[in-house]
Amino acid sequence: MTAGTIRFGTDGWRGIIAEDFTFDNVRSCAQAIASYAVERKLSAQGIVVGYDTRFASENFAQDVAYVLCGNGVATYLCSSPSPTPAVSFGVHKMGAAMGIIITASHNPPLWNGIKLRMNDGTSAPAEVVSEIEQRIGQEIVKASGSNVKLIDLRKDYIDYLSSFTMVAKVKESKLKVVIDPMHGAGAGFLPQVLNGGEINIEEINWERNPLFPGMIQPEPISKNLGRLKAEVVERKADVGLALDADADRLGVVDEEGKFLTTHEVFSLLSFYFLDVLNMRGPIVKTITSTRMLQRLGEIYRVDVYEVPVGFKHVSHKMLEVNALIGGEESGGYGFREYLSERDGALSSLFFLDLMVKKGKRPSELREELFSLVGPHHYRREDVPLSHERREELKARLTSLHPQEVAGKKITRIQRMDGLHMSTGESWLLLRLSGTEPLIRIYAEGKTEQEAEDFIREGKRFLKI
């Protein structure tokens, strides 16, 4: 990959370290961002640079800071690994123009990347990304670090999380909680917010380890949370909470060591605001998210908006409609009471407060949710692709016009993002990933078997 072929996907640019994600390419991106800031007269307002715990992230971040500084942009560099939502919070609090985070989020260990955040916490919109991409390849101006200001966002972010009124009751709840930051930038934050009361907090996988041992990738989904499941059962904990590598996503394990799907968590958080807190406002969901949200919208008489995959679409729609909550299938949730940004730690606090206020464990909350909206079962499979196969399947998704899925008549087809086929409450989606060389097959059914049947049918459609 050369500077001229760098493109920002669903949430930033990502590449394999030393192959695509090189110092030269990172500096080229930094120069493009600096040029954009200078031309838009944002230099004095400044840019915050943060990074996660991946291999050499701090070194990449330092180079980004030096390039920004060399172009006369006021530059604030985090002094330690920081969650993406902490950087977004810092950008807003400091009144900076933008934030740059060196992170590949949930990608496997060989990857790293760059996320861009605006002052309101949203991902850089398409028009900003386009302008930056057009500037990639310019001559790089680099300075020493003498004018780079080091900042520590940890205390301000912890103070902010601690300021929510529900935190005091959660701290006195006597819950037993196991937290898994997956060797990422979110290590230590929730214990610091919650310690000092009756709650019992244990943290595992808190050490920085860019190999992310014991998991395929630092994504808080079932297959990567074997240790958390075991620890919850062994410690007889009430719940396990996992954050991805840059801590903007949440995964939940119940008291029996079973994973709650992200759809169940999203629905339970929506239920928390609508029912437990009796708040009202629209819900914004991606096309890959559960139909349980539509049912909750009907029950509590709130609008539910559907957008393409990528939290940038969620956050922009949230601002447009003043949404109560927004989220996506990957486990990232944002809230009206916060910036338009995913936040795994804040989502964790809200989930714990739901447990406290309802007096129920996760499995019991799941049962209550299903009694309200009916059972929904979800499956997803990711299939790796070569570049040639990707182009082939891209064309196939456009040409496919199926009439039924696993013997059920298709009642609605959407091509907002991939090929989405509905048979009423159940659905199948075939979609090319915007961040990885994969095609994803998603399904939701009324039974586990129906979801499995839909996945198998999706593979047949794709001939894989």
Q: What is the DSSP string of 356-420?
A: HHHT--HHHHHHHHHHHH---EEEEEEEE--HHHHHHHHHHHHH---SEETTEE--EEE-SSSEE
Which residues in the chain are classed under CATH 3.30.310.50?
377-462
Sign of CA dihedral 257, 258, 261, 267: negative
Global pTM? 0.93
Three-state DSSP at 302 gives: coil
Which residues in the chain are classed under CATH 3.40.120.10?
3-153, 158-257, 262-339+359-373
Q: Supply the pLDDT for residue 3.
A: 55
**Residue given tokens 């172009």 in the structure block:** 71
The residues with which 75 forms a beta bridge, in sequence order, are: 47
Q: Distance between CA 242 and CA 378 in Å, rounded?
A: 19
Domain 3-153: give its CATH code.
3.40.120.10
**pLDDT lower than 50: segments of the chain:** 1
Tokens of 29: 């991106």
Q: Supply the pLDDT for residue 194.
A: 97
Q: Supply the pLDDT for residue 395.
A: 87
User: Vertex 299, ends 295 and 305: CA angle to 5°?
Assistant: 55
**Residue given tokens 């205390």 in the structure block:** 155
Q: Supply the pLDDT for residue 4.
A: 54
Q: Answer yes or no: CATH 3.40.120.10 is held by domain 158-257.
A: yes
Q: Answer yes or no: CATH 1.10.150.120 is held by domain 262-339+359-373.
A: no
Q: Which residues touch 420 (CB under 8 Å, ≥6 apart)?
A: 287, 413, 414, 427, 428, 429
Q: Supply the pLDDT for residue 122.
A: 86
As a 3-state breakdown, the chain gives helix, strand, coil percent values, each rounded to 5, of 40, 20, 40
Residue 2: count of CB within 10 angstroms of its CB: 11
In percent, the amount of the chain with pLDDT more than 90 equals: 85
Identify the CATH assignment for 377-462 out of 3.30.310.50, 1.10.3720.10, 3.40.50.300, 3.30.70.600: 3.30.310.50
Q: Supply the pLDDT for residue 303.
A: 98
Three-state DSSP at 210 gives: coil
CA distances from 323 to 302, 333, 336, 385 (A): 10, 12, 6, 36
Q: Which of 216, 196, 162 is nearest to 438 (CA)?
A: 216
Q: Distance between CA 51 and CA 435 in Å, rounded?
A: 18
Q: Supply the pLDDT for residue 11.
A: 78
Q: Supply the pLDDT for residue 2.
A: 56
Three-state DSSP at 271 gives: helix
